[in-house]
Amino acid sequence: MSPRSARTAAPDEKAPPVAGSAALGAARRRVSAGRMAVWVALAAGPAALVLAMLPAPRTVAAAPKKTATVVATPPVADPSGYAELLVSSWLASSTKSVSEASRRVQAMAPGTALPDTPAPATLVSAINTAPTAPGRWQVTVAATDKAGAVRYFALPLMADGDRFGVPAGPAQVAAPAPAAESAESGYPVTVPTGRSLATTVGEFLTAYLSGGQIDRYAVPGVRLSAPQAAYHKVEVEQLGADQQAAAAESVAADGTQVRVRARVRAQDAAGGAWPLDYGLALTARAGRWEISAVTASSLTPVGGTR
């Protein structure tokens, strides 16, 4: 056997551990990289080292925003119309005959006694609605007959779910007492004819009720709207104010505001005279009075907007 053959026939030498060497090299590289990171952190300072050792921050989902629950509130019932219809039907009913009015009464207020003789009203209006308890009212109704006489009836009503109940029939009552305080009490100062404010009010109401130009009497920026009226003559009969400045001979200082109540007599094309009451708000500016609002009463504006 030749030496070459002997070398070939010699026991197999172990192959170098290729896979194991690769794994060992990767581990050594990781250790070296870790050492390098530590040295870099040390070189950057303690703060960087601490940051490098901290865990990554977690993302926290924001809590859902709470929303308020809206609860619908049912509107407050108005029993006045129900009372008007019931009293009107009751007055037109009779025990001696069955009519549409009597059937309506029995449907709206079962068991309500009917009058013997009908006395239909030409006009029925609820003039007062007074709460007596939660869900209960007493409605006072004025009924005008064909002769113009007015009678007053009180009717108790109660809420029955989405309908009204009538615990008792109508009762005739006395006419309501007038208010203790009259409308004139809010205007204690009488404005004499010929005063600057009286002249402005007279000219304005004449234009207001006869289709004339009213913008030139208004405070700048205030738009006044006039009714569709064509009276031929307008005369101020009474003029009261809420303060003395309105009755002064000279115009008050700029910015002074007063309220007045004017009673006028307006004559139409046929010669008929109409007594009309107006409330006006006026403001002093540049030596003259200007209209800032027109009211049908002392509180409710009907013709002045900015």
Whether residue 301 is predicted with pLDDT greater than 50 in this model: the reply is no
Give the tens place of pLDDT for each residue, 77-107. 689 999 999 999 999 999 998 999 999 999 9
Whether residue 116 is predicted with pLDDT greater than 60 in this model: the reply is yes
What is residue 122's predicted lDDT score, i.e. its pLDDT? 94
CATH topology assigned to domain 80-173: Nuclear Transport Factor 2; Chain: A, (3.10.450)
Round to whole Å and give the CA distance between 234 and 241: 20
What is residue 280's predicted lDDT score, i.e. its pLDDT? 95
Whether residue 252 is predicted with pLDDT greater than 80 in this model: the reply is yes
What confidence category does residue 273 fall into, taking pLDDT thresholds of 50, 70 and 90?
A: very high
Give Rg (Cα) of the chain.
Answer: 47
What is residue 7's predicted lDDT score, i.e. its pLDDT? 45
Round to whole Å and give the CA distance between 268 and 230: 7
Angle between helices 80-91 and 100-108 (to 10 degrees): 140
Give the tens place of pLDDT for each residue, 50-61. 544 555 555 555
CATH topology assigned to domain 184-295: Nuclear Transport Factor 2; Chain: A, (3.10.450)
Average pLDDT for 265-273: 92
Whether residue 288 is predicted with pLDDT greater than 60 in this model: the reply is yes
Identical fold for domains 80-173 and 184-295, yes or no, is yes
pTM here is 0.54
What is residue 178's predicted lDDT score, i.e. its pLDDT? 78
Beta bridge partners of 236: 264
Average pLDDT for 121-130: 94
Round to whole Å and give the CA distance between 290 and 218: 5
Domain layout of the chain by residue ranges: 80-173, 184-295
What is residue 163's predicted lDDT score, i.e. its pLDDT? 85
Q: How far apart are the first and last CA of the chain?
A: 128
**CB 283, CB 218: distance < 8 Å:** no
pLDDT, mean over the chain? 80
Whether residue 125 is predicted with pLDDT greater than 80 in this model: the reply is yes
Average pLDDT for 108-122: 93
Whether residue 276 is predicted with pLDDT greater than 80 in this model: the reply is yes
Least confident of 36-40, 81-85, 136-140, 267-271: 36-40
What is residue 1's predicted lDDT score, i.e. its pLDDT? 47
What is residue 295's predicted lDDT score, i.e. its pLDDT? 81
Whether residue 11 is predicted with pLDDT greater than 50 in this model: the reply is no
Helix then strand count (H, E) for the chain reads 6, 10
What confidence category does residue 241 fall into, taking pLDDT thresholds of 50, 70 and 90?
A: very high
Round to whole Å and give the CA distance between 91 and 145: 10
Identity at 41, one-letter amino acid code: A
What is residue 35's predicted lDDT score, i.e. its pLDDT? 59
What SS3 class is residue 244?
Answer: helix
Percentage of residues in the chain having pLDDT higher than 90: 59
Give the tens place of pLDDT for each residue, 25-76. 555 565 455 555 545 455 555 555 454 455 555 555 555 665 544 444 445 5
Whether residue 9 is predicted with pLDDT greater than 60 in this model: the reply is no
Identity at 116, one-letter amino acid code: D
